[in-house]
Chains A and B, each alone.
Chain A
Amino acid sequence: MNFIKKWSGHAAVVVALAVAAGGALAQGRPLSVVSWGGAYQDAQKEVYFKPFMEKTGIKMVDESWDGGIGVLRAKMQGGANNWDVVQVESEELLLGCEEGLFEKLDWAKLGGKDKFLKNAVNDCGVGSIVYNFVLGYDGDKIKAAPKGWTDFWDVKKYPGKRALRKGPKTNLEIALLADGVPAADVYKLLATPAGVDRAFNKLSQLKPNLIWWEKGSQPPQMLASGEAAMVSAYNGRIAAANKTDKKNFKMVWAGSLYTIDSWVIMKNSPNKAAAEQFLAFSSDPQNQKNLPPRIPYGVTNVASTALVDKAVMPDLPTNPVNLNASLYINDKFWLENLDKLNQRFNAWLAK
Chain B
Amino acid sequence: MQPREPETAGRPPAGPEARRAPAPGPSLERQLAAAERSKKWRAFLLTAPLLLFLLLTFLGPIGALLSRSVVDTEFAAALPNVAREIRRWDGHALPDEATFAALIADVRAARAADTLAPAATRLNYDVSGFRSLLFTTGRRLPDQLQGSARDTLTEIDPKWAEVETWGAIARASGPVTSLFVLAALDLKRTAGGEFIGAPAEEKIFVQVLVRTFAIATAVTILCLALGYPLAYVLASLPTRTANALLVLVLLPFWTSLLVRTSAWIVLLQHEGVINEALLQTGLIESALELLYRRAAVYAAMTHVLLPFMVLPLYAGMRSIPPAHVRAALSLGATPLTAFWRVYAPQTLPAVGAGVLMVFIQALGYYITPALVGGPDDQMLSYFIAFYASKTINWGMAAALSVALLAATVALYWVYDRLVGIDRIRMA
Contacts and interface: CB of A to CB of B under 8 A. Distances in A.
Chains A and B belong together in one complex: yes
Interface of A: 70, 95, 98-100, 166, 200, 211-212, 225-227, 332, 335-344, 346-351
Contacts of A226: 270-271
B337 interface: no
24 contacts: A70-B392, A99-B117, A100-B114, A200-B201, A212-B375, A225-B269, A226-B270, A226-B271, A227-B269, A335-B131, A336-B124, A336-B128, A337-B129, A339-B124, A339-B391, A340-B128, A341-B128, A343-B204, A344-B202, A346-B204, A347-B201, A349-B375, A349-B376, A351-B376
Contact of A350 (B131, B204, B270, B292): B204
B125 interface: yes
B203 interface: yes
Contacts of A350: 204, 207-208, 375-376, 378
Nearest to B370: A214
Nearest to B199: A344
B132 interface: yes
Nearest to A200: B201
A203 to B, nearest CB: 12
A70, A340, A350 — which one has the most chain B CB atoms within 10 A of its CB?
Answer: A350
A346 B270 contact: no
A336 B129 CA distance: 5
Contacts, number: 61
- Consensus secondary structure, chain A interface: helix
Interface of B: 114, 116-117, 124-125, 128-129, 131-132, 135, 201-204, 207-208, 269-271, 292, 375-376, 378, 383, 386, 391-393
Contacts of B391: 338-339, 342
Centre residue among B129, B202, B207, B271 by max chain A CB count within 10 A: B202
Contact of A225 (B116, B270, B378): B270
- In this complex, the member of A200, A226, A343 whose beta carbon has the largest number of chain B beta carbons within 10 angstroms is A343
A70 B269 CA distance: 37
B393 to A, nearest CB: 7
A100 B271 CA distance: 51
Given A98-B135, A347-B204, A349-B376, A339 B117 contact: no
A227 B270 contact: yes
Nearest to A166: B375
Contacts of B208: 350
Contacts of B207: 350
Contacts of B392: 70
B203 to A, nearest CB: 6
A216 to B, nearest CB: 15
A99 B204 contact: no
Contacts of A340: 128, 202
